[in-house]
A = this chain, B = another copy of it.
């Protein structure tokens, strides 16, 4: 099992049913027509970034590798497919032995992307590749959307740490993936224990308003929390009166109090007022954490305020207005026969209603200027120009069905920081605009 490779405690169950039914009906028809074995190339890309966004962030690649490795048809699944008459007996037989044995290349996790970037390329027989469409898109569309929001928030937050706390605002397992994607995009910690368990992301959390309300007084609640968690804890100070709560917090925990959290009200005003009060009380090292309906714009607006950390929920896990990317999984080339050495022929749906695709198996490279700043995303189907050979973006992820590019999550996180840092400065502007790099087809 893949998960063991990274010492993760969670086994990934079969992913075979995260599949749109048409993938199986196409398989059945192609098996019968004798075309299922044609060597095929599918590519994942998006025709556009969400409106106004300057760059995208590839996230979920590691989860895709897990999902491909665990895409197998167990007896219970085969029985379901048989009972419902979803596919015929020869197809069931074929599925029972299914393992992906092809090749996958892709942008490594954390890399940035642009319209047309071939984020992932899946190559093998039509039959084995077509089945992976939905699960690959589900993962990349979701995780990349969250990572893009996270990246913008990380830019806005600068050196101040960001806490992911959106679990309650999205599906319980989407939340775990969201915490992972947020970490790739630059968040430091998560409130979600399942994300800590599964991906080893540092977890944080102290108390909610309910804890204060449970006790006979705010003083009792603070004392109970400090008794249990020590003076370095974070006390939530906005249940009743913030000024009174801050005074009491320092009285109870001492000036070594770790932090106070503000979850409502005018955060800019409160942060200034609370900082002043903390300093007056000698609690110079006590930090201020804010956590109320933040997005990248609210974070940026607090840049000059004495805030030490931001907790972000809803807007992060919903991609800050763009909860999904528009990534598609398209057949771009296939052989004319099932012979292993039959040459690949580029294919593409005819342009209609803007849904254009570019046929052919693609490479991509990021051209940089003399100062090393990226200036274009270059995508091509022919030979790679010599000057771009060293700047290619796709890396080998799966070779002959074996995952060859498993990596710790921190590697993706570091890669994202580096990739974003190599973009033109305007990439980090929050204002709306065109993609910061043009895509050139050669």
Interface residue ranges, A against B (CB under 8 Å):
9, 15, 17-26, 28-30, 32-33, 35, 38, 40, 42, 67, 76-77, 80-81, 84, 86, 88, 126, 130, 133-135, 137-139, 141-143, 165, 167-178, 191-194, 196-197, 203-211, 213-216, 220, 223-225, 227-229, 238-241, 264-266, 292, 314, 317-318, 323-324, 326, 329-331, 334, 336, 347-350, 352-355
Q: Tell me whether B194 and A228 are in contact (CB under 8 A).
A: no
Chain A to chain B contacts (Cβ below 8 Å), 11 pairs: A18-B172, A20-B193, A21-B192, A29-B211, A67-B172, A133-B208, A137-B169, A138-B167, A171-B173, A210-B331, A266-B353
Question: A314: which B residues are within 8 A, CB to CB?
Answer: 324, 326
With contact pairs A18-B167, A172-B18, A209-B331 given, residues A33 and B193 touching in the complex (Cβ less than 8 Å) = no
With contact pairs A174-B142, A191-B20, A209-B331 given, residues A29 and B227 touching in the complex (Cβ less than 8 Å) = yes
Q: Tell me whether A33 and B220 are in contact (CB under 8 A).
A: yes
Question: A86: which B residues are within 8 A, CB to CB?
Answer: 193, 203
Question: A347: which B residues are within 8 A, CB to CB?
Answer: 213-214
Q: Tell me whether A19 and B194 are in contact (CB under 8 A).
A: yes
With contact pairs A292-B353, A353-B264 given, residues A215 and B18 touching in the complex (Cβ less than 8 Å) = no
Q: Tell me whether B25 and A206 are in contact (CB under 8 A).
A: yes
* A215 to B215 Cα, complex, angstroms: 70
Q: Tell me whether A172 and B228 are in contact (CB under 8 A).
A: no
